[in-house]
Amino acid sequence: MNITIKDIARVTNVSPATVSRVLNNVGGYNEATRKKVLQAAAELGYRRNESARSLVKNSSNLIGVIMPQVSTLFYGDIMTGIERAAHQSGYSIIISHSGNVGDKIPECIKLMAERKVDGLIIATVEINDEHLAMVQELRIPYLLLATRMPDRNVPYLKVNDFDAAYTATHHLIENGHEKIGLVGLSLTDRVAGTTRFEGYKRALEDNGLKFDPHLVKEGDYGFYSGQRAMQSYLQEKTELTAVFCVSDDVALGVISVAADHGIQIPDDLSVVGYDNTIIAEMSIPPLTSIDQPFMEMGEEGCSMVIDAIRHKQKIYSKIMPYTLVERRSVKQITHKIF
Amino acid sequence: MNITIKDIARVTNVSPATVSRVLNNVGGYNEATRKKVLQAAAELGYRRNESARSLVKNSSNLIGVIMPQVSTLFYGDIMTGIERAAHQSGYSIIISHSGNVGDKIPECIKLMAERKVDGLIIATVEINDEHLAMVQELRIPYLLLATRMPDRNVPYLKVNDFDAAYTATHHLIENGHEKIGLVGLSLTDRVAGTTRFEGYKRALEDNGLKFDPHLVKEGDYGFYSGQRAMQSYLQEKTELTAVFCVSDDVALGVISVAADHGIQIPDDLSVVGYDNTIIAEMSIPPLTSIDQPFMEMGEEGCSMVIDAIRHKQKIYSKIMPYTLVERRSVKQITHKIF
DNA sequence: CTGAAAGCGCTTACAG
DNA sequence: CTGAAAGCGCTTACAG
């Protein structure tokens, strides 16, 4: 049998109400009772029953996290950040995977509803209007993390993909590159795909370079996508001196087939990645990459929803700062015009 | 206000008891009532309150997962496996991070106790006797995943580290190597550290090679650990033709400094990794590595505890199969004796 | 400062 | 097949 508040009450000769009060630190008892209750609780090995507590408080001290189960490098970082912030504030986190294509999102939301989570973080997956409606029905604070809903006023926390892509491309241009490829563009991904594409194009235009569709390779964010793109460049004998990759994984993909073909990075080809996961550092040569602060995003995002829960206030979207971290995969080349 | 079972009862003119029965599919009602209850539930948008349910059933449908927050590559894989199995059986998972050094383990266990989790998975961290006592006090099924307690009869699910290290080393020997380094040995890690060390040594001995302590570099499982080891080999001008690394990360570390020094992999140095995470494939050249099936381990492990919960039976330890996946980081060299 | 009582939303013997 | 009732372990007005 489990030890309950009543057991403590019996042992200490006070009412369960008082036990509850001291255990919850709400005041309304003198020091003597406080001491004996706490001592009895410790001696009996009391563990409070969160279910009972949740039931009466109509809240669970739970933050729900919905994430896709793709094994991306940053999954752990985001989770770590979220868990840290939650733990600090006395919340626990419960997670549910949305499937690779987000097909299980409704199920996830239902689950979160049953668990009466106090707040919800939807990370990394794109949701649609139907999902949004379900989430809103929950009437709890929620936040899109490292994702967003275009054209909808839904709170999110993420890096500005347009700017970051612009910066990455601009960095290449600054270093004298004029034929710059874009690798891994997902046209169906309106959050990170097309936005980065726009940033890339704009950087080109702003610097008087012509956008050439032959230089962009569609794909996804994976390693193989990068490999396929590089193979395709090779086969088509595309002339380029640099590529901007939509993720570190695809960057490593292009580097790997480049290596197989004796193409030197950065001497023959400069490459910049995106995410700045650990593999950017592991790359040979180490990869220049756009840093997304995933751990901080998890932490900050979770704090935002907790604040909203506690102060019953609205969550405002926030842009996280990105940085370009330079390593050794970009070469400065001389301008042809000189 | 939330819709409850009573609301459905009122609308359908049956008792809450009956509503509960049809919602839980326990039988004891005719088709007509079943239909109207289900319909009313759907119409009202009923969501059951798991807290209330947990309270009366004295169980939560929750599997607790305790993991360190190191951002290892396989974190996501393990979690994915666990979540998949849990979800399939109607369980949710709640996670708590144990800190890098496991210092927060007691706190994690306390939390799991309060949540009344039905089962517990402790992944990847080493626990001590004190922790074990706390866990056992919970009186719920639990399992150590990808870790174990030496000298204690505690159920675990993992790969046989000794055998795997033996296999890795033996693979190198088969390919004609005689001076084989061991990189990343953690002498304090009695689970994976010393065990892999033993496997390495035994493989040497069984093949008539002398164990040379100068060939082993202590460290941890990280990238930098591999870098430091390689630098140290270089500085000491250690003669060796191959290294067995305790993780892919350390393997990439040695490869990266090797590259900086113009040392060709595998021509000048063969290397085999451990874990077979995605980076093994991303490595240049692609890394031969011991595969640990993390996703399957998560899935299988979670299934084991769920089975134990359902059938109230003991959990028996299980060994997962590992495999050596050969890629291009090992070179066959001619035996000197010929 | 403290207690009696009601109630959170559900499940489950028990009785019919 | 169905309902009335008790109870899971807690919190929180209310009253003193």
Task: Map tokens 């050794």 to a residue.
Answer: A328
Q: Would you place residue A338 in the very low, low, confident or very high pLDDT band (cuts 50, 70, 90)?
A: very low
A252 contacts chain B (CB < 8 A): yes
Query: Taking 60 as the threshold, does the pLDDT of residue B23 lie above it?
Result: yes
Domain boundaries, chain A: 5-48, 58-159+294-321, 161-292
Which positions in chain B touch A68 (Cβ < 8 Å)? none
- State the Cα–Cα distance between residues A157 and A143, nearest whole angstrom: 7
Could you tell me the strand order of the sheet in which A216-218 lies? A216-218, A180-185, A242-245, A270-275, A288-291, A323-325
CB-based contact (8 Å) between A133 and chain B? no
Mark the nucleotides of strand C covered by protein, meaning any atom under 7 Å from a CB.
1-5, 7-13
Sheet containing A318-320: order of strands: A318-320, A156-159, A142-145, A119-123, A62-67, A92-97, B92-97, B62-67, B119-123, B142-145, B156-159, B318-320
Where does the pLDDT of residue B2 fall: very low under 50, low under 70, confident under 90, or very high at 90 and above? confident
B48 touches strand C (CB under 7 A): yes
Residues 6 or more apart whose Cβ sits within 8 Å of residue B115: A50, A51, A92, B60, B62, B64, B94
Cα separation, A326 vs A330, in Å, equals 8
Place of tokens 């979220």: A82
Q: Is-contact B122 B147, C-beta < 8 A?
A: yes
The reply to whether A58-159+294-321 shares the fold of A5-48 is: no
Of the candidates B316, B215, B212, B222, which has an alpha carbon nearest to the alpha carbon of residue B275?
Answer: B222
Q: Which residue has the tokens 């490829």?
A: A181
Residue A303 has pLDDT above 70, yes or no: yes
> Would you place residue B337 in the very low, low, confident or very high pLDDT band (cuts 50, 70, 90)?
very low
Span of A99-103, A116-120, A145-149 with lowest mean pLDDT: A99-103
**Residue A25 CA distance to nucleotide C1 C1' (Å):** 14
Alpha helices in chain A (DSSP H): 5-12, 16-23, 31-44, 50-57, 75-88, 105-114, 129-137, 161-174, 193-206, 223-236, 248-260, 278-282, 294-311
Chain A with chain B: Cβ pairs closer than 8 A:
143
Question: Does the CB of B87 have a partner CB in chain A at under 8 Å?
Answer: yes
Segment B214-220 mean pLDDT: 95
- Rounded to whole angstroms, how far apart are CA atoms B325 and B265? 17
Which residue reads 């739970």 in tokens? A62
Model pLDDT for residues B284-317, shown as the tens digit of each residue: 999 999 999 999 999 999 999 999 999 888 999 9
Residue A206 pLDDT > 50 = yes
Contact B140, B101 (CB under 8 A): no
Cα-flanking dihedrals φ and ψ of residue A196, to 5°?
A: -65, -35
Tell me: pLDDT of B71 over 80: no
Interface contact flag, A84 B92, Cβ < 8 Å: no
Fold of A58-159+294-321: Rossmann fold (3.40.50)
Taking only the tens place, the pLDDT of each residue in A212-248 is 999 999 999 999 999 999 999 999 999 999 999 999 9
Note whether B179 contacts A: Cβ–Cβ < 8 A.
no
How far B243 CA sits from the closest chain A CA (Å)? 18
Topology of domain A5-48, CATH: 434 Repressor (Amino-terminal Domain) (1.10.260)
The Cα–Cα gap between B119 and B142 comes to 6
The helix (H) or strand (E) run that includes residue B174 is: helix B161-174
CA–CA separation, B159 vs A95, rounded Å? 26
Give me the CA A7–C1' C2 separation in Å, rounded: 18
Please, what is the average pLDDT of chain A?
92
Superfamily for domain range A161-292: Response regulator (3.40.50.2300)
User: How many CB atoms are closer than 10 A to CB A307?
Assistant: 15
CB contact under 8 A, B96 and A92: yes
Q: Domain B57-158+294-320: which topology?
A: Rossmann fold (3.40.50)
Looking only at the bridges linking them, the beta strands covering A92-97 and B92-97 are antiparallel
Residue-wise pLDDT tens digits, B118-167: 999 999 898 999 999 999 989 999 999 999 998 899 999 999 999 999 99
